[in-house]
């Protein structure tokens, strides 16, 4: 069965961020991911992970002005120097945390996102990260993030293919795939060669992966059959509290 990583930006949010590591370990998780660690010293984050026997498996590059509506800026023209600085910062954190997967958010079409800028910035990020981390791109549905630039799995593959960087890969969130395109089983089979990380949640409410539009027991079985040995991030919104909703883990492992 797959290895599941608790997304600490979504789970155990009743606790301060650094206290969520202990909660994840107590719940039985061996890996964690999160959106942005940059408000905390990398040494403090690493200390919490190590103290609780947790592997940090994924986090995002800085997203730009999140509170002002930005959702990344890898595809935004005129921000190339800022993006390069964000790659440098993320790689410093990745090395400190022993993390080998970094997600670069594209940004919004309404903010002027352009494909050529995206491709150039991703190429730079992958080249800088070579030997340290994989740079990942994730198609995101436009219901959750209206106007997001990268929305389809096929376009993500096109960009990865064009970049021709061996450490540029796909972050396949099965929730986003189902909302935007459907056919989760087909996507697992078709895109397995470029997937470096999966995430899960149940449409339509983005709750625990136990009921809804996706048969997760079957999906996890299909992922196993592809030979994937990485992590699956639990990036869902608990319906009635994180601990109260963890029963799904016992049925899947």
pLDDT the model gives residue 132: 95
pLDDT the model gives residue 253: 67
pLDDT in tens, 214-253: 999 999 999 999 999 999 999 999 999 999 999 999 887 6
Whether 213 is catalytic is no
> Environment class of residue 197 by beta-carbon count within 10 Å: exposed (0-12), middle (13-18) or buried (19+)?
buried
Nearest CA to 58 among 224, 233, 208? 233
In the chain, domain spans: 3-252
Torsion region of 134: left, alpha or beta (phi above 0 gives left; psi -120 to 50 gives alpha): beta
Structure-block tokens of residue 159: 């960009």
Secondary structure tally for the chain: helices H, strands E? 9, 8
Omega before 93 within 30 of 0, i.e. cis:
no
pLDDT the model gives residue 69: 94
CA gyration radius, the chain = 17
* Residue 102 host element (H or E): strand 101-103
- Choosing from 138, 162, 165, 225, which is the catalytic residue? 138
Interatomic CA distance for residues 234 and 14, integer angstroms = 17
User: What average pLDDT does the chain have?
Assistant: 97
Low-confidence residues in the chain, pLDDT < 50: none
Q: CATH 3.20.20.150: does it fit domain 3-252?
A: yes
DSSP classification of residue 171: E
Sign for the pseudo-dihedral over CA of 91, 188, 164, 123: negative
- Choosing from 33, 165, 208, 235, which is the catalytic residue? 235
DSSP string computed for 209-222: TTSSSS-HHHHHHH
pLDDT the model gives residue 151: 98
Whether 162 is catalytic is no
pTM: 0.96
pLDDT the model gives residue 211: 84
């Amino acid at each position: 069965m797959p290895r599941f990583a608790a997304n600490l930006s979504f789970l155990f949010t009743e606790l301060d961020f650094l206290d969520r590591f202990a909660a994840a370990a107590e719940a039985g998780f061996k890996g964690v991911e999160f959106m942005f660690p940059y408000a905390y010293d990398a040494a403090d984050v690493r200390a919490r992970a190590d103290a609780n026997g947790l592997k940090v498996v994924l986090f995002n590059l800085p997203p730009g002005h999140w509170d002002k509506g930005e959702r990344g800026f890898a595809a935004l023209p005129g921000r190339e120097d800022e993006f390069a600085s964000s790659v440098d910062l993320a790689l410093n954190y990745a090395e400190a945390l022993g993390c080998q997967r970094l997600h670069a958010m594209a940004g919004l079409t309404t903010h002027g996102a352009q494909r050529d800028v995206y491709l150039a910035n991703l190429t730079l990020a992958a080249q800088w990260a070579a030997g340290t981390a994989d740079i990942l791109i994730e198609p995101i549905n436009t219901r959750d993030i209206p106007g997001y630039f990268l929305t389809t799995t096929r376009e993500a593959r096109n960009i990865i293919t064009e970049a021709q960087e061996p450490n540029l890969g796909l972050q396949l969130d099965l929730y986003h795939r189902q909302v935007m395109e459907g056919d989760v089983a087909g996507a697992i089979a078709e895109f397995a060669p470029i997937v470096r990380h999966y995430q899960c949640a149940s449409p339509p409410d983005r709750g625990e992966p136990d009921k809804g539009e996706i048969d997760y027991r079957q999906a996890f079985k299909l992922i196993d059959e592809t030979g994937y040995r990485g992590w699956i991030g639990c990036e869902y919104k608990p319906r009635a509290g994180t601990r109260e909703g963890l029963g799904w883990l016992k049925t899947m492992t």
